[in-house]
Amino acid sequence: MFLYILGLVTVWYLYRWYKESKRVPNKGSKYVYITGCDSGFGNNLAKHLDKLGFCVIAGCYTEKGETELKKVSSERLTAISLDVAKSESVKKVAAFIKTLVGEKGLWAVVNNAGVATPSGPVDWLTIDDYKSMLAVNLNGVIDVTLSVLPLIKKARGRVVNVASVFGRIKGPDLNMAPFGVKVLCIEPGFFKTSVTDTVMLKNQFKGLWDRLPQDMKDDYGQTFLETSEFNQLRDSDLMKVVHCMEHAIASIYPRYRYSPGWDAKFLWLPISYMPTWISDRFFLRYSPKPKVSMI
């Protein structure tokens, strides 16, 4: 019986490998719009897709990011200034894209731009802290997507959202399925990018601590600050994520979820499937405890 099951699983994986190995034709006529291309995943994806022959529209937050990307790319790639937190900037880029792609429409938009700070215990943060992060990670994604969605629908293309393995508890948005639009999600584990820079994370965490009132510092205790580590093992091979992005864009049969990184596959995903009382106990067990903790 075990051999039959093993055989079926093997056949399934071979079938999936064969199916997912197929790529869309006519890459040179397909436009891909990527946000957050100054560095990290977005920068690598823009260069990778450019080499594959796609027409890339790379949104960069800084002028330096635009300049550096243009130096190492072909004439097919268009680097353009973009601040996803500002609707004026998003609308300006969308208008440019509409003129550029014409009746062909936009094959894909990759919502890659994101920030990871400020982050800390919930009672350390203010509503303005949340607003600054949501302006990029949530409102920016919605704004960018809506700004080009008519062009995506015209091409029956893709919306690729780069999130995190921690967001796996939310299901994919299938509202665009009737229009032939696939909404796909990339859920990386911990990779070595500017978003996960340990020095930056420690500095911002210390900044949050310094502005706390003394009574709250007393509740948490100095030990909490010292034991809040940001030394997770980070994978330096960003192409693991980039290849997932490329597959979501170029495969005829893309996956709805991609989870690049060994920590995502063997730690965070299994935890996400566990009953909440188990996953909660895991995080409580291995998270630093405030001084007044009752656990």
> pLDDT by residue (tens digit) across 247-257?
998 999 898 88
pLDDT of residue 285: 83
Q: How confident is the model at residue 190 (pLDDT cuts 50, 70, 90)?
A: confident
Q: How confident is the model at residue 175 (pLDDT cuts 50, 70, 90)?
A: low
Q: Is the pLDDT of residue 6 over 80?
A: yes
pLDDT of residue 91: 96
* C-beta separation of 148 from 71 below 8 A: no
Grouping H, G, I as helix, E, B as strand and the rest as coil, residue 57 is strand
Q: Is the pLDDT of residue 57 over 90?
A: yes
User: Which of 65, 63, 88, 66 has the alpha carbon at shortest distance from 147?
Assistant: 88
Which residues are 159's β-sheet partners? 109, 183
- Distance, CA of 188 to CA of 264 (rounded, Å): 7
For the record, the structure tokens of 200 come out as: 């930056």
User: Which of 140, 144, 49, 53 has the alpha carbon at shortest distance from 97?
Assistant: 144
Q: Full-prediction pTM beyond 0.75?
A: no
> Residue with structure tokens 């009752």?
294
- Distance, CA of 176 to CA of 251 (rounded, Å): 18
Q: What does the DSSP 8-state code read for residue 178?
A: G
Q: How confident is the model at residue 170 (pLDDT cuts 50, 70, 90)?
A: very low
Determine which of 93-97, 209-213, 261-265, 286-290 has the lowest per-residue pLDDT on average. 286-290
For the record, the structure tokens of 86 come out as: 């500002």
Hey, what amino acid is at 236?
A: S
User: In the predicted model, what is the mean pLDDT of residues 164-188?
Assistant: 70
Superfamily of domain 26-193+234-277: NAD(P)-binding Rossmann-like Domain (3.40.50.720)
Q: Is the pLDDT of residue 168 over 70?
A: no
Grouping H, G, I as helix, E, B as strand and the rest as coil, residue 179 is helix
- Distance, CA of 60 to CA of 145 (rounded, Å): 16
pLDDT of residue 198: 80
* C-beta separation of 248 from 163 below 8 A: no
- Distance, CA of 15 to CA of 10 (rounded, Å): 9
Beta-strand (E) ranges in 71-197? 78-81, 108-111, 158-162, 182-186
Q: Is the pLDDT of residue 156 over 50?
A: yes
Which residues are 110's β-sheet partners? 34, 160
For the record, the structure tokens of 23 come out as: 């790529």
pLDDT of residue 139: 94
**pLDDT tens-digit series, residues 193-224:** 877 778 888 888 888 888 888 988 888 888 88
Q: Where exactly are the structural domains of the chain?
A: 26-193+234-277
